[in-house]
Structures are given as C-alpha cells and as structure tokens.
Amino acid sequence: MRIIGIDPGLQRTGWGVIDARDNRLSFVAEGTVTSDAKQALAQRLMQLHDGLVEVIETWSPEQAAVEETFVNKNPTSTLKLGQARGIALLVPARLGLVVGEYTPNLVKKTVVGAGHAAKDQVMMMVKTLLPGSGNAGPDAADALAVAICHAHHRETHNRIVAGERR
C-alpha cells in the first residue's frame, strides 16, 4: 500500500510518500509545496492545489493521511490554515484516494511514543524509521510522520469508513 502523508500549511504544505507492506515501511519520496506570500489568498490556495495534484499524480499513492488542524491563538492564522487543510483534504479525495485524518498528538504518540513530542524528536524518529528520508525539512518530516501514523492505524480507519458506507 502506498500512502501519502500531508502536513497542511498555507506557506509550506509538507508531503511524504511511503510504502507499507505487512509491518514494514519504506521511504519513497518527500517534499514541500509552497505558495507565494505576495499573492492573493485564492492564488495561494490554487498553488497548493496544483502542487498536490502534481505530487499525487507523480507518486500514485493509494491512500492519503492529513494532519488535523490545531487552533492557534490568532483566529486569522487558524482560518487560513483551515483553508489550506481544506485543499489538502480535497485534492486526494477528488483523485479517488481514501483520506484519513489524524490529530497532531496521535501522530506524535504513534511515531515518537509521546503525544507532546518536539518537532526535532519527530524528525529524528522519522529518519530512524525511514532510512533515506529527512532531507526536505521539518514540514516533510511531519508529513511522513502522518503517513506512518496512517500505516499503523489504517485497518481501524478502513473499518470505520466501511461502517459509514453501510
């Protein structure tokens, strides 16, 4: 099963692709999709959309996982992050992928073992679990962590989705 993890952000949306076979995970690719801060919000969202479409078409994942948004103190920033997250959910869904959503604490607990782990701890564990990864920065590492979380929890997620369809 090929999985893409997405860490949404308006400036930088991290993505990471892994292959999950039985209990083994392997690194495939990682990167970030960026938007131009000088552009209007609609243009920036379109840049994220087009970039994610290109990534998914290039790497052909079968499922996607997106990190849920936490609420910032600044409501404007939270709203903009939510809009970027909407793109991160929409693109894989429109391309026919099953999309799982995971809280930041569950992602950290799955990868590091502690729900309040620091970014550098997450990056270190991602590099350990997925040799060859870690060259595209913290946003891509977070996205790979989301993909790892999905790989570990996808069976439960699949049962929930199947139950909702009934």
Q: Is 139 a known active-site residue? A: yes
Catalytic-labelled residue, pool 67, 101, 120, 155: 67
CA–CA distance, 87 with 21 (Å, rounded to integer): 28
Q: Is 30 a known active-site residue? A: no
CA–CA distance, 34 with 127 (Å, rounded to integer): 23
CA–CA distance, 57 with 73 (Å, rounded to integer): 36
Q: What is the DSSP letter of 74?
A: S
Q: Is 7 a known active-site residue? A: yes
Give the chain's radius of gyration (CA, Å). Answer: 15
Catalytic-labelled residue, pool 19, 36, 57, 139: 139
CA–CA distances in Å: residue 136 to residues 11, 51, 102, 140? 15, 15, 22, 6
Strand stretches in 44-146, DSSP E: 63-67, 98-102
Which residues does the annotation mark as catalytic?
7, 67, 139
